[in-house]
Chain A
Amino acid sequence: MSRIHASASWLIVVLLMLLAAGCGSSATPTSTTGSGAPTVATNPTDTTVSSAQPTAAATDTTGTGSTGTTPTTAATDTASTSSGTTPAATTGTGGAGSSGAGTTITILSNFTPDVARGKVLNQLISQFNQAHQGQVTVVSNPDPDWPTLQQKIKSMIAAGSPPDVFLYNYNPSDLTREQSGKLMDWSSYLNADPTWKASFRPENLQAVTMNGQTVAIPSDQAPVLFYYHKDLFKKAGIANFPTTWNEFFQDADKLKASGVAPISLMTADDAWHTMNAFTYLTTAAGGTNVFNIGQPLNSPAVVAGATQLKKLFGYTTADAVGANYSISSNNFLTGKSAMVIDGPWMISSIQSASGGIGDIAVATAPTNGDNKVPAGYIVTDSLNLWAAAKQTDKAKEAGMVAWMKFLTSSDSAKKLSIDGQYPLAVKTTLTPDDITKAGPLMGQVLQYNTAAPATVVEAVRNIKTAAQAQLPSLLEGLAIGQTTPEDFAKQLQGFNK
């Protein structure tokens, strides 16, 4: 019997060794396509591109427009025509292209295909892939939940394998991603193509330039505005959207009396809708610089904003405490609430929900009428950025540059603004025709955005992650009367240290 046991034991050991050996051997092909150590020698496809053409790749990206014959050149030819309108500059035939393999770039974003921007992104990807067939394939891997997506990206960077290309929100109080050393440097490509570089606002590029390395490309900075049901306003006897906060609360009383919750609020996750309201209320009380980096969060303006926010919780839906973005948005879309403060992506949801814009309009925020802030000023989302994993594979890097130049080209930006309801943070000239084409709601958003005399980044986007983590409980404390506005401000300041 013991002999049988011994044989079984040895069998297990041998199996384990085989398993270990199997794992070891499988690691090699995986690493050849990954972003890890260079492994060109073991991968015929990569060898062709990476070892034979590094100089060509570098040269092509300077925008010489050479019509080389390698796939790398082909991919970057498109890039060189950054302000051009087509990705179809592919002329390459050999190398990876001829093998039919090429390089695959996966994009992590919240551009799901059920919303307008996702549809447009997929169209752009398909256009790009067609032009780079056999050389570069861009694949979208969207996650609709923005906070989860951001955590996923951080975890992937922490694990040493950032996504190929990803969308994230810039937070000057949390530069861990930018300073991780895992992100690709775009500076040489931007410097080599002045037209492309000039399409971004210099301060945006400056914000993501660390030690001379530009680690991200500006994507968008969405304006956050008041969307409201005109029919519900009319039913409550309100003719126009209020221009002062006093009027706002008077109208809120009328809406409440008519049986509808005046505004959608939420406290879960990043408390987006609520923090939009808080940012508007606080800036109205203290001016557009109250949330600038270095400003205390227990200032009188923040206390005033929190006081008004506490009052606003009396005008929201019964499920606001604990509600997430989906619940809060749904309350607005189904007419349970009359207003929501959100970004232009809401337009896509409005269209999906009602098969058209229905009786919904958009407005800029009220002020206190005391000139602390100019009428028509706008709170914006954080600057969203595209970043990419640092590459050892030059072909892949060239593909990423080509894709990014195509995505941020004037034509793509226009398409995303008009069809995708997603204005990019690149210089885009929109004609009145374009604005009409964008539809009445998006047209209004674009007009308000262009005409805004001042902008402020939403409060939650600039505070430290420790304070962000505490926001739901702080806001809930305020809503249920457990925390005073003074305590709210004091605790927020404490967590933000």
Chain B
Amino acid sequence: MATKPQIALYLLPAVALVLGFFVIPLLFIIYMSFHQWAGLGPATFMGLDNFTYLFNDNSFRTALTNTLIWVGVGTFIHTPLCLMVALVLSRRPFMWKFFRTIFFLPNVISTTAIALLWYFLYHVDLGLFNKVLDAIGLGGVARAWLADPNTALPATLLPWVIYIGFGMVIFLTQISTIPTEFYEAVQLDGATSWQQDLHITIPLIRRAIALQVLFVVGYALKMFEYPFIMTNGGPANKTINLSLYIYRQMITANQYGLSMAAGVVTLAVGTALLSIIFLVLRRVDS
């Protein structure tokens, strides 16, 4: 049994790292969010002006809305897709290992590379989509997918939605822990595959689903590569999200205080979303 000083000693490196690289920078960000600072020279205290500006700024409101759309699409479209594929593969159909690998493969490729690949797939002149549409006689539908305000946001979301490998693996792992006796019992009662999934598999992997939603929310809040590389937030801010807004205010506009205020709002949004997920999970459990 470790003594208290020993426990403290074990924790010391982790505590020091968290303090040094998370808590102190976080406090600095919160402090600077009340200041105007160009990155050079002294900072000026502004009170809540940065936050007032943010909520009056159309591009920030769009960024916030788009981020919530990413969260929504991740939770209600991407996660069910992961679940569906996991449920199918868990029955070990023909070549299931091959498909598991194929589905997971995009998760080990750099997101930057994938974003660039999709940029060219969507390209108005060189892109595969427009070429295929032309070839099958639907040339009229072809367009500049990433420059069209009606298609830009769905176009940046699509790669993320269809790369279901990570969630699929989480679900497959959890499904593999369910004792086969459960299924044998209901099969004797004549339960269909759908009923087995609905009444046994899904309830028993609910914690894995919650975990996946947690990952999805975190990923959506941090999402940067797809909108940055594919559209740079355009056209006319149609695809901007919070990460890109923070980046733009800091790197292009040199408004570090405003950028940090946007970071604080992102933190608040993330905390609120996580609280909701935990609340829902607790209710489901009870």
Interface residues of A (CB under 8 A from B): 2, 5-6, 9, 12-13, 16, 147, 151, 154-155, 157-158, 174, 176-177, 179-180, 267-268, 318-322, 336, 465-466, 468-470, 472-474, 476-477, 479-480, 482-483
Contact = CB atoms under 8 A, between A and B. Distances in A.
Contacts of A180: 40-41
A480 B253 contact: no
Given A2-B2, A5-B6, A465-B252, A322 B234 contact: yes
Contact of B237 (A151, A174, A473): A473
A155 B249 CA distance: 14
Could you tell me the dominant secondary structure of chain B's interface residues?
loop
Contacts of A472: 232-234
B10 A9 contact: yes
A5 B237 contact: no
B277 interface: no
Contacts of B9: 9, 13
Contacts of B39: 154-155, 158, 176
Nearest to A466: B253
A477 B152 CA distance: 14
Nearest to A473: B237
Contacts of B147: 318-322, 476, 480
Contacts of A469: 248-249, 252-253, 255
A6 B40 contact: no
Contacts of B235: 267, 321-322, 473, 476-477, 479-480
Contacts of A16: 13
Closest 6 A/B residue pairs (Cβ): A469-B253, A477-B236, A321-B147, A469-B252, A476-B235, A176-B40
Contact of A473 (B10, B13, B59, B124): B59
B181 to A, nearest CB: 38
> In the complex, which range does the number of interface residues on chain B fall in?
35 or more
Interface string B239-274: 010000000110111110000000000000000000
B52 interface: no
B3 interface: yes
Given A13-B9, A468-B252, A482-B149, A318 B234 contact: no
B83 interface: no
Contacts of A179: 40-41
A483 B2 contact: no
Interface string B117-139: 00000011100000000000000
A176 B41 contact: yes
B114 interface: no
A466 B125 contact: no
A477 B237 CA distance: 8
